[in-house]
Amino acid sequence: MAKEPASLYNQCLLAYVKNLNHNVASLDRIAELRHLPTAILATVYEQMCNFDSLKDILLVQLTDLDTFNRLIRQASLKQIMFKCVQTLMTAHRMVVSELQTNFCRSTSVYYLQNGAVTGAVRDACLEDHAGARQKGDDRDKGQDTSWRVVAAFVDQIDNGIRLGSFLCESGWLEDSLHVFNITLDMIQLLRASYMRHLIELNCIQKLLCAQTAFCCFKEANVTCAQALAIIDKLTQQHQQDLKSSSQPCSSSSSSSSCSSRKSSHSFSSGSSHGEDVDALSNIPNSLLANIYQQISVLHFYRSEYDLSYRWSIRALKHINKHTPDRIIVDVLRQVAKSCVVKRQFQSASMLIKQAVCRARNSFGTNHQKYADALLDYGFFLLNVDSIANSVAVYTEAHEILCRIFGPRNLHVAVAHEDLAYCLYVLEYSSGKFDSATANVERAIDIMKELVPSNHLMLASAKRVKALILEEIALDTMASTIDYNRCKSLLEQSEELHRSALHLSLEAFGETNVQTAKHYGNLGRLYQSMSKFDDAEQMHKRAIRIKTHILGPYDYEVGLSIGHLASLYNYHMQKHQEAEELYLKSIEISLRLFGESYSGLEYDYRGLIHIYEYTGDQARYDQYSNVLEEWRMLRENNQAVR
C-alpha cells in the first residue's frame, strides 16, 4: 500500500524548518517564531527536534520562560513538549536545569526579595482580585500599580505550578521539587483566605507527588501533614459558617446565647480527618480525590499497606461524573494497587481494567497515562501469577514510555526495572536471564546518570540485579566447575543486597515490609553461599517483621516461610521443622491463589524430599499425586490462556 503523502501544511513546515540556520536572515526569522499561534509554534519545535544543527537554537527558544509556559498551558500540546524536552536532554542540552534555574532565579529576585511586591501581596485580598479580573477590570492596564503587582505575582504562582507539574510528569523530579518549593514560598506570602488555601493545596499535592516519586519520604511526611492541616482548617471554618447561617440571632438579647452555642461546639483536628466530615467540606471533590490519592501513594511506597488502602478508598469516594479523567484514572490505579497488596484480587481486577480502559479511551494508546495504567496492570498480573501476560503488558508500557520520553529518563528506567523483575520471575525455572539482565542493567545505567549514588530508586534496581546474579551463579554452579566465577557473582549479589538493606533501614527503619524483603533476599543468598546460620537468622527476621505488619496469612509471610523451610530441608536437616513450615506455606498459597498457583510446586517438592528422606512412603505417595494434579491444573490453565 502506497504511503500517503504529507499534507501541504506539513510540507511547508518542514521546508521552513530545513531553512533555519545560524545566518543573520535566519536568526531574524527565528526571533519571530514566538509570535506564531501556539499550536503551530509547537509543531515547528517538534520538527526542529529532527535536526542536530538546530538543537542549540531550540534550546534557546525553550528556555524562554514566557514561551515555554505558553506552550505547556495547552494540554493537547503536552506530548509534543515532552518530546522536545527529552530530545534536548538526550543530546545533553540541559533545558530542564536551565528552565528550573531561570524560574527560581526570576521568582526570587523579582518577587520574593522585592519588598514592594511582598508588601502589596500581603495586603491584597485574593478573592477581590480574582473577581475583578473575571469582570475585565481595566486596572491591569496601568491605572493601579499595586493591583498589577498582585496580578503578576499570582500569574507567576500559576506558572510555577504548571512548570513543576510538567517537570514531574516528564520524570525530572529533582528539578520539579525546586520549582514547587519556591512556588509554595510565594503562595504562603499571600493573605490567608479560602482561595489562597485552595491554591496552596493544589501546589502541595503536586509537591507531594514529586517527593514521593523521588523517595523524599521525610519531606513528604511534612508535606502530607501540611495538606491535612489546611483541609482541617477549611473544613472547620466551613462547618462554623454553616452553623452560623442556620442559627441566626434575631435580637441583641439572644446574641449571648447564640455565641454560647457556637463556642460549645469544638472541632478537633483529628476528627476533621474523618470521612463523614469530608461530606461537609467546601473543598472541590477533585482536589480532595487528588490529595487523598497522593497520600495513599506515599503510604504504598513506604509499604504501609493498610493506610494506603484506607486513603485510596477515601479518594475513590470523591470521584463523580465531573471529575477529570486524568484524576479518575490515577485514583482507580491506586485503589487497584492497594487492593492487590491486600490480596483483594477480584476488586483489583475490576478497578485496574477500568483504569486501563478509561486511559485508552480518554488519552489514546501513545500517552503517558495509558502507559502508567499498563504498568499497574502488569503489577496486578504479576501478583495473580499470570507471569507471561504480565511480561507482555510491561513490555507494551515500556515501549510507549520510550517513544514519549526517549532513552534517558527516570520513567523509562523504572519501566526497565519492572520489566526486568517480571522477566526474572518468568525465567526463574529456565535460567535464561539475558533479557532480564539487559533491562536491569539499562535501568541502573540511566539511574546512575540521573540520581545520587545512594538513592533508593537506584537501590531498588540493584536489588533486582542482585536476585538475577544469584540465580545465574546457581545455574553456573550446577552446570560447570567454575568456582571463582560463581563466588564472584555471589559476592556482587551480596554487596548489592547489603547496600539496598542499608538504604531501606535509613529510609523506613527496621519494622517495614521493604526492610523485611531485603532480609529475606539476604537469607536466600546466604543459603546459596552455604552460610546457613546467617541465612536462618535473616529468614526469621523477615518472617517476624512481615507477620507483625501484614498478619500470619499474607503472601509475603508465606514466601519467607517457604524459604526457611527450604533451608531447613535441603541444608540443615531440620526436617520436622521444615515439614511444618511447608504445610503453613501451602495453606497460605491455597487461601490466596488456589490450587494452580505456581509457587506451590516448590513446597510440594520440598515435602516429597522430606518424606523420601524420612522413609514415610504413604505421605511420599500422597504428595507425589498432589504434585501431578497440580501439573495438570497448570497445563489446563495455560491452554485456556
Task: Give residue-wise pLDDT tens across range 457-490.
Answer: 988 999 999 999 888 888 776 666 667 788 888 8
Q: What are the pLDDT digits (tens) for 145-162?
A: 777 888 888 889 999 999
**Sequential DSSP letters for 54-78:** GHHHHHHHHT-HHHHHHHHTSGGGH
Residue 230: the pLDDT is 92
Buried b (16+ CB within 10 A) or exposed e, 536-575: bebbebbbebbbebbeeebbbbbbbbbbbbbbbbeebebb
Cα 509 off chain centre by: 21
Per the rule left: phi > 0, alpha: psi between -120 and 50, beta: everything else, 385 is left
Q: Specify whether domain 540-641 bears CATH 1.25.40.10.
A: yes
Cα 495 off chain centre by: 27
Checking if the pLDDT of 261 tops 50, the result is no
Residue 114: the pLDDT is 77
Q: What are the helix (H) ranges across 427-481?
A: 434-450, 456-479
Between 636 and 434, name the one with better pLDDT: 434
Of the chain, the end-to-end C-alpha distance in Å amounts to 34
Q: Is the Cβ–Cβ distance between 553 and 522 less than 8 Å? A: no
Q: Is the Cβ–Cβ distance between 375 and 415 less than 8 Å? A: yes
How many Cβ atoms from other residues are within 10 Å of residue 130's Cβ?
Answer: 14
Sign of CA dihedral 334, 337, 339, 344: positive
Checking if the pLDDT of 296 tops 60, the result is yes
Give me 440's grid cell. Answer: 536491569
Going by C-alpha positions, the residue among 557, 564, 563, 566 that lies closest to residue 587 is: 557
Checking if the pLDDT of 340 tops 90, the result is yes
The DSSP secondary-structure symbol of 136 reads T
Give me 556's grid cell. Answer: 509475603
Measured CA angle at 620 (ends 619, 625), to 5 deg:
95
Between 585 and 9, name the one with better pLDDT: 585
- For residues 293 and 205, give the distance between their C-alpha atoms in angstroms, rounded to a whole number: 9
- For residues 552 and 566, give the distance between their C-alpha atoms in angstroms, rounded to a whole number: 19
- For residues 102 and 108, give the distance between their C-alpha atoms in angstroms, rounded to a whole number: 10
- For residues 371 and 398, give the distance between their C-alpha atoms in angstroms, rounded to a whole number: 7
Q: Which residue has the cell 526436617?
A: 575
Residue 125 vs residues 29, 116, 189, 235: alpha-carbon distances, Å: 43, 16, 12, 20
Residue 237 vs residues 16, 267, 271, 340, 525: alpha-carbon distances, Å: 58, 10, 14, 38, 57
**Average pLDDT of 318-336?**
95
Q: Number of C-alpha atoms within 13 angstroms, CB side, residue 319?
A: 18
| Sequence-ordered list of residues with C-beta below 8 angstroms from that of 128, at least 6 positions apart, any chain | none
Between 453 and 415, name the one with better pLDDT: 415
Checking if the pLDDT of 141 tops 50, the result is no
- For residues 486 and 473, give the distance between their C-alpha atoms in angstroms, rounded to a whole number: 5
Q: What are the pLDDT digits (tens) for 375-427?
A: 999 999 999 888 999 999 999 999 999 999 988 899 999 999 999 999 999 88
In this prediction, residue 327 has a pLDDT band, given cuts at 50, 70 and 90, of very high
Q: Is the Cβ–Cβ distance between 297 and 206 less than 8 Å? A: no
**Sequential DSSP letters for 484-545:** HHHHHHHHHHHHHHHHHHHHHHHHH-SSSHHHHHHHHHHHHHHHHTT-HHHHHHHHHHHHHH
Q: Which residue has the cell 486596572?
A: 139
Q: Number of C-alpha atoms within 13 angstroms, CB side, residue 613?
A: 16
Q: Amino acid identity, residue 332?
A: L
DSSP SS3 for 6: coil
**Average pLDDT of 223-241?**
88
Q: What are the pLDDT digits (tens) for 32-90?
A: 778 888 988 888 888 888 888 888 888 988 999 999 999 999 888 988 999 999 999 98
Cα 469 off chain centre by: 27
Residue-range domain boundaries for the chain = 287-384, 540-641
Residue 111: the pLDDT is 82
Residue 583: the pLDDT is 95
Residue 14 vs residues 53, 87, 417, 606: alpha-carbon distances, Å: 14, 18, 38, 66
Q: Which residue has the cell 522536545?
A: 84
Q: At what angle do helices 95-107 and 145-169 cross, to 10 degrees?
A: 150
Q: Amino acid identity, residue 96?
A: V
The DSSP secondary-structure symbol of 114 reads -
**Average pLDDT of 264-293?**
66
DSSP SS3 for 364: coil
Residue 116: the pLDDT is 73
Domain 287-384, architecture per CATH: Alpha Horseshoe (1.25)
Burial of 400 (0-12, 13-18, 19+ CB in 10 A): buried
Q: Output the average pLDDT for the chain.
A: 86
Residue 368 vs residues 184, 408, 422, 528: alpha-carbon distances, Å: 26, 16, 21, 41
How many Cβ atoms from other residues are within 10 Å of residue 473's Cβ?
Answer: 23
Q: Is the Cβ–Cβ distance between 227 and 201 less than 8 Å? A: yes
Residue 622 vs residues 579, 589, 605, 612: alpha-carbon distances, Å: 14, 19, 12, 12
- For residues 81 and 99, give the distance between their C-alpha atoms in angstroms, rounded to a whole number: 13
- For residues 462 and 455, give the distance between their C-alpha atoms in angstroms, rounded to a whole number: 11
Of 187-196, 261-270, 306-315, give the lowest mean pLDDT range: 261-270
Checking if the pLDDT of 270 tops 50, the result is no
Checking if the pLDDT of 6 tops 90, the result is no
Q: What are the pLDDT digits (tens) for 556-594?
A: 999 999 999 999 999 999 999 999 999 999 999 998 888
Checking if the pLDDT of 262 tops 50, the result is no
pTM, full prediction: 0.85
Residue 131: the pLDDT is 56
DSSP SS3 for 346: helix
Q: Amino acid identity, residue 63?
A: T
Looking only at Cα atoms, what is the longest distance across the chain?
99
Q: 287-384 with 540-641: one CATH topology? A: yes
Q: What are the pLDDT digits (tens) for 80-138?
A: 999 999 999 988 899 999 999 999 999 998 888 777 777 777 777 776 666 555 555 55
Give me 258's grid cell. Answer: 447564640
